[in-house]
Amino acid sequence: MRTDRFAITEQEFNPRLPLRRRFGGLFGLLSAAAILIGLVTLGLLIADVVRDGWQVLSWDFLTSYPSRRPQDAGILSALVGTFYILLLVTVIAFPLGVAAAVYLEEFAPKSRLTAFIEVNISNLAAVPSIVYGLLGLGVFVRTFMLGRSLIAGALTLSLLVLPIIIVASREAVRAVPPSIREAGLALGASPWQTARYFVLPAAFPGILTGTILALARAIGETAPLITIGALTYVAFTPKSLFDPFTVLPIQIFNWVSRPQPAFHDRAAGGIIVLLAVLLLFNATAILLRARLQRKIRF
């Protein structure tokens, strides 16, 4: 019975199963190759950097200020600057971005104006960072007279990452099914309570991921900070929001552009530290998200 049926089908339409299987296999190979190209390139770059920078890594490297003698030069001021900038950007951009996203998704009327704002936020996420640098220079450094300070840098980078945080948070908020909102409202929750107690917690893992990606971008930015006048040689750590500062990418950029090869090794060491900071950061985010997401199933 079974065999009969199969025999008939084979005559009526030719399924060409072997050929389809071969195409499937081929596509798998192509995809694997695509991944390999990316990974191998990255691996080579990292190997190159590690080879150059490994021997300069030491406690002294991390705890010394820059110096014009390469063997004494360290990254303390840059590391501390990066840490402060990251902290400030998180404090400024995270609440603003999440609030804007919640407003746009949960409260804003679905009007032309809202649509216009939404399109422009997405556009802002793609604006080159140097433009934000010029904006920061014009607004924060000159108009608000904050100078080339930590706070001016943090505000500039906050502007840069805000659109990214808003777009990612909106996606996360939109992914919460409407049935959750209805459940809240039907219990007599106000729209604000519904957003605060039921929608936001469910969207939080997504919001967190977006924010981390945005901060990872902020940590690597050099151009806007150079534009607002962040210093390349800072032999102190900032004591207040209004002190000058430097960050890891600027320090690396500075060392790379020196003629002495010994400074290039210092730059490679700086890159390793920057990568490590970034990795640490992303790993924390992934762990945190995994932990939160395990509980949330719609």
Stretch that binds other proteins, among 15-23, 94-102, 179-187, 253-261 (CB under 8 A): 179-187
Q: Which is nearer to other proteins, 84 or 198 (CB)?
A: 198
Binding pattern to other proteins, positions 237-276, x when CB under 8 A? ----------------------------------------
- Least distance from other proteins to the Cβ atom of residue 171, Å: 17
Of the residues 80, 185, 216, 275, which one makes contact with other proteins according to CB under 8 A: 185
Residue from 201, 231, 232, 282 that binds other proteins (CB under 8 A)? 201
Q: Does 197 bind other proteins (CB under 8 A)?
A: yes
Are 85 and 148 spatial neighbours (Cβ–Cβ below 8 Å)? Answer: no
| Site track for other proteins across 81-120, x = CB under 8 A | -----------------------------x----------
Question: Minimum distance between the CB of residue 293 and other proteins, rounded to whole angstroms?
Answer: 10
Residue of 38, 145, 186, 240 interacting with other proteins (CB under 8 A) = 186
Residues lying near other proteins in the complex (CB under 8 A): 110, 177, 179-180, 182-190, 193, 197-198, 201-202, 204, 295-298
